Amino acid sequence: MQTKRRIKFSIFLKLVLLIIVFIIVANLLLGFFIRFSLIGPPIGQFNKKAPPHLHEFIVREIGYPPDTVKAMSFVHELNIGIRFETPEVQWSSNEDIPGIKELSGEGEFRNKDERHPFDYKGRPYFIEKIPQGFVILSPPMPRDSIDYQRAILAVIVIVSVLGLLLYFSLRWIFGPVKKLSEGVEKIGEGNFDDEIKIDRSDELGLLADSINKMKSNISGMIKAKESLLIDVSHELRSPLTRIKLANEFVDDLEIHNMIKTDVDEMEKMISGLLETYRMEKGEEKLNLDITDIVDLTKNVISKFNGAKIIFESEFKERKINIDRAKIEIVLRNLLDNAIKYSEGKQVEVKISGEKNNGDKTLLSIRDYGNGIAAGEIEKIFEPFYRIDKSRDKKISGYGLGLSLVKKILDLHKVVISIQSEPAQGTRFLLTFKS
């Protein structure tokens, strides 16, 4: 049986992560866009990063006496401040541009003949000397910072809402995937009764319909195969009885015994098959009764005359609620296998209580025979499964014993576990609840 794949990273989780990444990236990109395209470079960048002749160019373009219309167009275009300071003209685009006196007062600005980038109260200015006096260029004015914050906030809200809308839309589109996977899992477990109901007319709806169709086809095929098997098994019973009867008239003892062995084997197989089927269909009900498992086990062991079986029990008597006849079949089959597949080596049967849970009863059947490879352990409970057909050929059997064992134990809700190593032997451990 294939090991079950577990979901490590669900697509819904991936979807959530994708949307979160989308929201963060979109916010960052839009934030940068607003910051640099709409609001302009940060304060101070203009005077430091502007091309060296830009200030000179601006001053030249405005001319003297200053063309204030042109000056204002630079002011708006570049978001800067301009102040003309000559004996004749005292003009300033903004009130807060410091005059040459204030700037000189800072002490740094001494050589009034040069063009000069100049830091005043933490803001960079540029002073351009013209023949008539000075032009002071101030850095870009901080635009209304509340507007800027609002714009960023609006972008975050819009992008987040879009992200959420995207998430819910994708969730709606892919929602049926979960239903589909649950439905397919049920089919894998052998439940062919429930339909996958997806009321959608897209590809997922179509997929659900195809799976439903496939399911009913498979279920029909299995039913046909089952009923063929059961019918044939039933029909074989009468000829077998007739052979048995006729065999009583065979005088040659050797031939008589040969026929008897073969007929007995066939009968065993047919009743095993029919019993497994009834158990599977739930036709067989458990006849639960408080039973002493120690006594029952001893009783079953006593029927294996000549086999080397060592029995050990922690309890003299251990009463549990089981169907005695069915658990007898389980013990018989497990012991039969242990003896068959260990070629006469000793078999150990032990009854004990679970250490941490006094209520539980453990029954172990251990042999020192062929053992079972790890990959085969799950498969041996399947009907008609025999590990190595050539290895087990000389050992009689049809691979039905353990499948019946499993069905009976499942009905009892008894857990069966196997520890085995090839060529070392096998331990079957049954854990009874009470």
Cα separation, 58 vs 71, whole angstroms: 8
Gap between the Cα atoms of 161 and 173, Å rounded? 18
Q: How many residues line the site for ligand ADP (CB under 6 A)?
A: 22
Closest CA relative to residue 64, chosen from 34, 91, 28, 37: 91
User: Is residue 267 a contact residue for ligand ADP (CB under 6 A)?
Assistant: no
Q: Which residue stretch of 248-256, 289-297, 299-307, 379-387 sits at the interface with ligand ADP (rule: CB under 6 A)?
A: 379-387
Which C-beta is closer to ligand ADP: that of 148 or that of 385? 385
- Taking CB under 6 A as the criterion, the residue among 279, 327, 363, 372 binding ligand ADP is 372
Based on the shown chain and the rule CB under 6 A, indicate whether residue 335 belongs to the binding site for ligand ADP: no
Q: d(Cα 227, Cα 14) in Å, to the nearest integer?
A: 46
Q: Are strands 309-313 and 133-138 parallel, antiparallel or unpaired?
A: unpaired
Minimum gap (Å) between residue 397 Cβ and ligand ADP = 2
From the CB of 265, what's the least distance to ligand ADP, in Å? 10
- Closest CB to ligand ADP: residue number: 397
363 binds ligand ADP (CB under 6 A): no
**Applying CB under 6 A, does 386 fall inside the site for ligand ADP?**
yes
The encoded tokens of residue 219 equal 């279920």
We find the least distance from the C-beta atom of residue 281 to ligand ADP, in angstroms, to be 19
Q: Does 406 bind ligand ADP (CB under 6 A)?
A: no
- The C-alpha atoms of residue 429 and residue 434 are separated, in whole angstroms, by 15
362 close to 430: Cβ distance less than 8 angstroms = yes
Q: Which of 369, 409, 416, 430 binds ligand ADP (CB under 6 A)?
A: 369
Which residue stretch of 17-25, 36-44, 121-129, 366-374 sits at the interface with ligand ADP (rule: CB under 6 A)?
366-374
Site for ligand ADP (CB under 6 A): which residue of 337, 408, 412, 416?
337
Smallest gap from Cβ 192 to ligand ADP, in A, equals: 25
Residue 399 contacts ligand ADP per CB under 6 A: yes
- In the complex, the smallest distance separating the C-beta of residue 371 from ligand ADP, rounded to whole angstroms, is 6
The yes or no reply on residue 273 touching ligand ADP (CB under 6 A) is no
**CA–CA distance, 48 with 54 (Å, rounded to integer):** 11
Q: How far apart are CA 418 and CA 305, in angstroms?
A: 26
**Hey, what amino acid is at 321?**
N
Pick one of 46, 74, 120, 341: the residue that binds ligand ADP (CB under 6 A): 341
Rule CB under 6 A: which of 67-96 touch ligand ADP? none
Question: In whole angstroms, what is the distance from residue 154 CA to residue 30 CA?
Answer: 11
Angle at 392 between CA 389 and CA 393, to 5 degrees: 75
If you write DSSP's letter for every residue of 304-317 in order, what string do you get? STT--EEEEES-S-
**Is residue 409 a contact residue for ligand ADP (CB under 6 A)?**
no
| Rounded CA separation 20/167 (Å) | 9
In angstroms, give the least distance from the CB of 200 to ligand ADP: 45
- Smallest separation, CB 420 to ligand ADP (Å): 7
Distance CA 243, CA 263 (A): 8
Q: Which amino acid is at 26?
A: A
Q: State how far the Cα of 226 lies from the Cα of 203, in Å rounded to an integer.
A: 34
Looking at the Cβ atoms of 196 and 402, the one nearer to ligand ADP is 402
Alpha-carbon span 284 to 324, nearest angstrom: 14
- Residue whose CB is less far from ligand ADP, 82 or 338: 338
In the complex, which residues of this chain contact ligand ADP (CB under 6 A)?
Answer: 333, 337-338, 341, 367, 369-372, 380, 385-387, 392, 397-403, 426
